[in-house]
Amino acid sequence: MHRRALTRWVALLLAALLAACSSEPSELPANFPPLDFSYLTPLPLNVASIQISSQYVPSGVPSDASGSDPISPVQALEQMAQQRLKAVGASGQAEFVVDTASVVRTGDTITGVMSVTLSINPSPGSRAAYAKATVTRQVAGVQGDLSAALYDLTRQLMNQMNVEFEFQVRRALGRWLVSPGATTAPVGQTPLQPPGSPQLPEPLAPAARLPEPVIQPPPPTPDFPQPLPPAGDLSQPFTTPPPAPPPLPYSPPPPGPVTE
C-alpha cells in the first residue's frame, strides 16, 4: 500500500514538471508560419517586366547556419520582391538581385546580413539607375536548437529590410515610381520616361508690339573754315639769295687824240 502511494506521488510530480516546462515562454511551436509581405505598400515601377534572381552562394563552412534556418533568407528576400514590386510600365525592365543573405554562428552568437539591389534598365545592358539596401542583425546567448533563434532572426531582418528597401527605392528611384491613377506611354511612342519628370513650361505669349520709335534727324553739321592753301614744297631746303655786289665807281673814258 505504501509502495503504491509512492508510485502515484512520483507520477504526479513528473506530470507537474512536464506541465511547468511546457508553459515556459521561451518555447516556440514546432511549425513556423511562412512570412508574408502582401499587406505592405506595393511599389509600382514604370517598367514592362521585373526579373528576380540571386547571386548569393552560401559558404558551406561549419559556421554557416543558413541551412538550419526554417525559412531560407534568400527565398524570403525573393518573396518580398514578388509581393511588393509591380511592373506597370510599357517598356524597360527592373532587375532585383539578392547580393547577400548570410547567417553565421560564432559560439552562442548568430549574425545575419542581407543586401539587395534593384536596377532600372531602359534597354538590355543599359542601367539608368539603381537602389541598394543592406541590413544587419545580431543575437547573442543562443543555446541548444537553432531553429527558433534562426526563424526569429530572419523575421526581424526582413522587417528591417522592408523598411530600408522602400526608403532606398523612393530615394534613388522615385522618378520611376508610378503614382496611383497615373498613365504610362505606350511602347514605340516614347522611350522610358520617369513619371515624375518635370514638365516644360508653356511658351509665353508674344509681347504686344511697341510703336516704332521716332527718329529725329541729326542737327546740321557746323561749317568748318576753308582749308588753307597747301604749303610750298618743303622737300628742298630754304636758302637766302646772296646780296647783290656793290656798284663799281665811275671811270671816265680815256682821252682820245686831239683834233683840230
Question: What does the pLDDT look like over 180-193, one tens digit per residue?
Answer: 766 554 433 334 44
CATH number of the domain where residue 55 is located: 3.40.50.10610
Q: What is the percent of the chain with per-residue pLDDT over 90, rounded to a whole number?
A: 47
What pLDDT, on a 0 to 100 scale, did the predictor assign at position 10?
44
∠ at Cα 248 (242, 252), nearest 5°?
165
What pLDDT, on a 0 to 100 scale, did the predictor assign at position 144?
77
CA pair distance 167, 177, nearest whole angstrom: 12
In a domain, 10, yes or no: no
In a domain, 136, yes or no: yes
CA pair distance 137, 102, nearest whole angstrom: 11
Position 66 confidence tier, pLDDT thresholds 50, 70, 90: confident
Give the mean model confidence (pLDDT) for residues 76-103.
97
Phi, psi values for residue 2, rounded to 5°: -70, -40
In a domain, 60, yes or no: yes
CA pair distance 50, 96, nearest whole angstrom: 7
Amino acid at 145: D
**What DSSP string runs through 208-246?**
PPPPPPPPPPPPPPPPPPPPPPPP---SSPP-PPPPPPP
Selected residue with higher pLDDT from 234 and 175: 175
With 50 as the cut, is the pLDDT of residue 159 above it? yes
Beta bridge partners of 115: 100, 134
Selected residue with higher pLDDT from 214 and 147: 147
Position 95 confidence tier, pLDDT thresholds 50, 70, 90: very high
CA distances 135 to 25, 41, 233, Å, are 28, 20, 103
Largest CA distance in the chain: 236
Beta bridge partners of 97: 53, 117
**Contact status, residue 172 vs residue 82, Cβ threshold 8 Å:** no
In a domain, 247, yes or no: no
What pLDDT, on a 0 to 100 scale, did the predictor assign at position 118?
98
Position 22 confidence tier, pLDDT thresholds 50, 70, 90: very low
What pLDDT, on a 0 to 100 scale, did the predictor assign at position 257?
57
In a domain, 107, yes or no: yes
Selected residue with higher pLDDT from 145 and 88: 88
CA pair distance 136, 119, nearest whole angstrom: 22
In a domain, 49, yes or no: yes
Give the mean model confidence (pLDDT) for residues 144-156.
91
Q: Which segment of 85-99, 113-127, 172-186, 218-232 scores lowest on mean pLDDT?
A: 218-232
Domain that holds residue 74: 45-176
Give residue-wise pLDDT tens across range 24-64: 333 444 578 999 999 999 999 999 999 999 999 988 788 89
Give residue-wise pLDDT tens across range 198-242: 444 455 555 556 566 666 666 666 565 555 555 555 555 545 566
> Which residue is listed with cell 511612342?
189
Return the CA Rg of the chain.
54
Give the mean model confidence (pLDDT) for residues 240-254.
62
Q: Are strands 43-45 and 85-87 parallel, antiparallel or unpaired?
A: parallel
Domain total in the chain? 1
CA dihedral 171, 175, 176, 179 (to 10 degrees): 100
**Contact status, residue 174 vs residue 196, Cβ threshold 8 Å:** yes
With 50 as the cut, is the pLDDT of residue 146 above it? yes
**Contact status, residue 116 vs residue 78, Cβ threshold 8 Å:** no
In a domain, 16, yes or no: no
What pLDDT, on a 0 to 100 scale, did the predictor assign at position 142?
87
What pLDDT, on a 0 to 100 scale, did the predictor assign at position 31?
75
With 90 as the cut, is the pLDDT of residue 151 above it? yes
In a domain, 212, yes or no: no
Task: At 7, list the grid cell.
Answer: 508510485
What pLDDT, on a 0 to 100 scale, did the predictor assign at position 140?
93
